[in-house]
Amino acid sequence: MAPSGSSPPSTLGRTERMVLAAVAAVLVVLMVWLRGGLHPEAPLERLARQSPEFSVALADGRPTLVEFYADWCEACRSMAPAMERIERQQRGRMDVVLLNVDNPRWQPELERYDVNGIPQLEFFDAAGAPVGRSIGARSGPELEALTTALVDGTPLPLLAGVGAVSSLPEAAGAEGAAPPAAALPTQAGPRSHG
């Protein structure tokens, strides 16, 4: 009989404890694997996670590439490895910012940059001024040509779906002024597929 205040003697031997520990370890690994914990993070998620804040990138004196994307966008996912490679190659010379169109936080930017489809790339010079836009998927060589021109401060290459941006006069009644927002036709949003 065990003295009062002490625990009863262990009924499991050393071998049984080792087997139980091994089974527990296997179960932990299996649970982590089933929850996706052992899968490497995809390039799109990695880029989005390490992306600097949009306002900081525009103010830091480096050119900036902004990609409007969505997790479900296959074209965005297919571009991600090339975007990640470019971000690594140009780190310190250019910022790469990813803005998810499904995040309501970026609604003002979606409207400001007239995002109607994804992926949409916006290019900004070192002073934070817009210099161009690209709509649709881009190949690795196209992305390299675009970002090289951006870093070098030269005009963006002429590619289908790439163009310069300009600002429209906003003063009401000014000659050539844009019509008030209420007079513009409603456009489908980037998530509407309409």
Catalytic residues: 73, 76
Place of tokens 């998530």: 191
How far is Cα 92 from Cα 87, in angstroms, rounded to an integer? 9
DSSP letter (8 states) at residue 11 = -
Buried b (16+ CB within 10 A) or exposed e, 33-61: eeeeeeeeeebbeebbeebeebeebbeee
Whether omega before 8 lies within 30 degrees of 0, making that bond cis, reads no
Tell me the residue ranges of DSSP E strands in 59-127. 64-69, 95-100, 120-124
